[in-house]
Chain A
Amino acid sequence: MAKFTKKKDGDLPAVSTASLPDIVFMLLFFFMTVTTMKDNTLMVDNTLPNASETKKLEKKDRVIYIYVGKPTSQYQKTFGTEPKIQLNDKFASVSEVGDYILQERAKKPQDIQNVLTTALKVDKEANMGLISDIKGELRKVNALKVNYTTYEGDAFRNIQ
């Protein structure tokens, strides 16, 4: 009889946490695979406008980004408050856009060089004059496919 009563005095057995690392590792691998590191730091204010008729920009390797907006507060002393173009990690003038596109295009594999899209990430407070100049430059280097990147939302919120 003693054999059977012995167990009774113990408390609840501890929950085994041996599989906890496995679960956490599973999550870890999930996030590791879906992570994309932000590759450039924004030096301009970039509040995109809203639009409802958007299309998704698939295949990130086929996209060249151009940022436009007012310099952020830490750069305003040196660069002023007028909207500027940011290419990669530095400010640029309109005339440099063409060269930048050609450079980026040359970096891509040959077979996708003709299907590249230029994503214009433009702050909604920017003026169209600058955008038109950029579009002119893009036309000069024959980068005709553009995507005005926006947030999903009601387009009428842009006008206030």
Chain B
Amino acid sequence: MPRRGAPPEVNAGSMADIAFLLLIFFLVTTTIETDAGLDRMLPPIEPPEEDVVIKQKNIFTVNINKNGQLLVEEELTELKDLREKAMAFLDNGGDGTCNYCKGAKDESSSDNPTKAIISLKNDRETRYGTYITVQNELVGAYNELRNREAQRLYGRDFTDMEAEYLNPETDEDVREELKEKVLRIQDLFPQKLSEAETTSN
């Protein structure tokens, strides 16, 4: 009996070729990377209502000149020593009110991490790469201290917690829980990094 019912099959052999073509096109044009970088807040343009008096010893000055040399607290410093110096300053706890500080408790350095301010100044001719390295070291100093406290309180790195908190894929209730912890650690070592106007000489 001759087959009559079934229509002839469409040849799908070249389907793979077409799909491959498209696949290769998208493979080539894909960029999956997400950008990463250093987050900073700029100071608002209107000056604060009342003038705040800050003791000189609570300010940690970092100056970068146009050759990329560093002047930290009036002392010429190598870039690789900056992180340690900044950590020593932040963690000092000079007036004894800071019960989690492990620093030297030096009278002539910062009173409390919540009062300590890092002031960063740069020349107009400073290279951007140098500036970022300095920023990176200062943020690193904060992160190391925050990690230390987070390890002590929650047994986990602060940077790790913060990344999970900021990740939009994290569950809502996990984030609520993390928010509290992240804010608490941030309160212990608030990031007070002031960027003054650049100087031109």
Q: Please list the residues of chain A having a beta carbon within 8 angstroms of any beta carbon in chain B.
A: 17-18, 20-21, 24-25, 27-28, 31-32, 34-38, 49-60, 63, 117, 119, 122-129, 131-132, 135, 138-140, 142-152, 155-156, 158-159
Which of B11-19, B93-101, B104-112, B177-185 has 4 or more CB atoms under 8 Å from chain A? B11-19
Q: Tell me if B80 counts as interface (CB < 8 A to partner A).
A: yes
B1 sits at the interface (CB 8 A)? no
Which residues does chain B contribute within 8 Å of A139, judged by CB atoms?
Answer: 42-45
Chain B residues contacting A147 (CB-CB under 8 Å) are: 35, 37-40
Q: List 29 A-B contacts (CB under 8 A).
A: A17-B13, A21-B15, A21-B19, A24-B19, A35-B31, A36-B31, A38-B29, A38-B31, A49-B128, A51-B37, A51-B38, A53-B143, A55-B39, A58-B34, A58-B166, A117-B39, A127-B127, A128-B198, A129-B124, A143-B42, A144-B41, A145-B39, A145-B41, A146-B40, A147-B35, A148-B135, A149-B37, A156-B79, A159-B130
> Which of B12, B30, B128, B195 is packed against the most chain A CB atoms within 10 Å?
B128
The 9 closest A-B pairs by CB, nearest first: A129-B124, A124-B129, A158-B129, A31-B26, A149-B37, A54-B36, A24-B19, A155-B136, A128-B126
Is the CB–CB distance between B35 and A149 below 8 Å? yes
Q: B residues near A, CB below 8 A?
A: 12-13, 15-16, 19-20, 22-23, 26-27, 29-32, 34-45, 68, 79-80, 122-133, 135-137, 139-140, 143, 159, 162-163, 166-168, 195, 197-198, 200
Known contacts: A139-B43, A146-B40. The answer to whether A155 contacts B132 by CB under 8 A is yes
Beta-carbon nearest neighbor of A139 in chain B: B45
Measured between alpha carbons, how far is A76 from B120 in the docked complex, in Å? Answer: 33
| Contact A27 B168, beta carbon cutoff 8 Å | no
CB atoms of A35 and B168 under 8 A apart: no
Residues of chain B contacted by A38 (CB below 8 angstroms): 29, 31
Q: CB distance B38 to A54 under 8 Å?
A: yes
- List 19 additional A-B contacts (Cβ < 8 Å) besides A53-B136, A59-B168, A126-B128: A25-B19, A31-B26, A49-B133, A51-B37, A52-B136, A55-B39, A58-B166, A122-B128, A124-B132, A125-B129, A132-B122, A138-B42, A139-B43, A144-B41, A147-B35, A148-B37, A148-B38, A148-B40, A151-B36
